[in-house]
Amino acid sequence: MHAKRGIPLAVTAALSAALLTPALTHAAEAVPRDDAPASATSAPSVTKVDVENGWTAKAAADYWTPKRMAAATSETSKGATPEGAAELKGNKAAYFRGTSTVGTFFYVKNGKKRFCSGSVINSPRKDVVLTAAHCTFGSTRSAFVPKYNGAAKNKAPYGTFAVNSWFRAKYDPKNKRTSSYDYAFARLATNRKGQRVQQATKAALTLTAAKGFKHKVTVMGYPNAKHNKNGRPIFCRTTTKRLAPYKQMRMSCAGFYGGTSGSPWVVGYNKRTGTGRVIGSLGGLDKGGPNHRISYAPAFGKFAFKLFAAAKK
């Protein structure tokens, strides 16, 4: 990855009233296969990774203080557009007040405090969250903070949730041929109030199979501090297309710097309730894209539901 060229985010007080709000349903048709490109190997097996002993709700809340959360940096930078390349046309991300169903994953890797984005997924146990798989390798002290806002007085309004277990594909994150499996689910402990994450947020996104690759989506996440010093969430509404030959989607929207890995790609987002149908999460080839203007996401298919089935047990 290369250093990114800073482009300020457009600031807005709230999401546009034009955000789509259709009813939530599971898509059952035309499920894309995840194992792309066509020459890639067959779908990998599910890997469960339990976290370190003693990592409890209290331990997570005690460790991830506001100061430590503010000091966390993104693991990836998403390099700048190559010098001399034509300026890409498209949307720009904007700040918004945030939503209870999207938040920040904090973790420690190689002694450094890191973060990615993530989202609450509707599940029977109400304790499952989605992020990018590349954010989970080698991580310790992992915790999820719904609706994190570094600029707010209460930066963790729903509490801090320790990760109990990770569920991801058994794949090599450096292998482009398997980059379409760059997503993972976390099973969380309760917060210090004894609430499961979906009980606390009172809302969740619905895991949904992507029907094809062209979708109108709302993408929400948290860019790194270099471009977002107050740790505020951003959103972008745009239309996706296929990243051929992979089973991945591509979007053009400026502002998705490092830290936005794991951002949910949501169809039918309802800004009032924070709900919608998640068909992908930011990641995949090049850990989610070559620069902040272009982002990728694996299109959820059969393996995503296999992985989710293991996580929600």
Instruction: Look at the domain 46-78+91-312 and name its fold.
Output: Thrombin, subunit H (2.40.10)
Q: Report d(CA 43, CA 33) in Å as an integer.
A: 9
For the chain, give the number of residues.
313
Half-sphere exposure of 70 (CA within 13 A, CB side): 11
Give the model's pLDDT for residue 198.
99
Q: State the DSSP H helix or E strand holding residue 70, giving kind and residue range, or none if neither.
A: helix 66-71
- Which residue type occupies 175? N
Tokens describing residue 254: 């400026």
Q: Are 289 and 105 in contact (CB under 8 A)?
A: no
pLDDT of residue 26: 30
**pLDDT tens for the 313 residues of the chain, in order:** 333 333 344 433 333 333 333 332 333 323 444 444 433 446 789 999 998 888 999 999 999 999 999 999 998 766 444 333 333 345 899 999 999 999 999 999 999 999 999 999 999 999 999 999 999 999 999 999 999 999 899 999 999 999 999 999 987 878 888 899 999 999 999 999 999 999 999 999 999 999 999 999 999 999 988 888 888 999 999 999 999 999 999 999 999 999 999 999 999 999 999 999 999 999 999 999 999 999 999 999 999 999 999 999 9
Q: How many CB atoms lie within 10 A of CB 269?
A: 29
Q: Are the beta carbons of 271 and 232 closer than 8 angstroms? A: no
Q: Give the per-residue pLDDT at 77.
A: 61
pTM of the model: 0.84
- What confidence score (pLDDT) does residue 271 get? 95
Which tokens hold the place of 89?
């046309």
Amino acid (1-letter code) at residue 179: S
Position 150 scores a pLDDT of 92
Best CA proximity match to 297, nearest among 131, 186, 171, 139: 131
- Measured distance CA(204)–CA(247) in Å, rounded: 25
Q: Which H or E run includes 58?
A: helix 57-63
> Tell me, what's the pLDDT at 73?
94
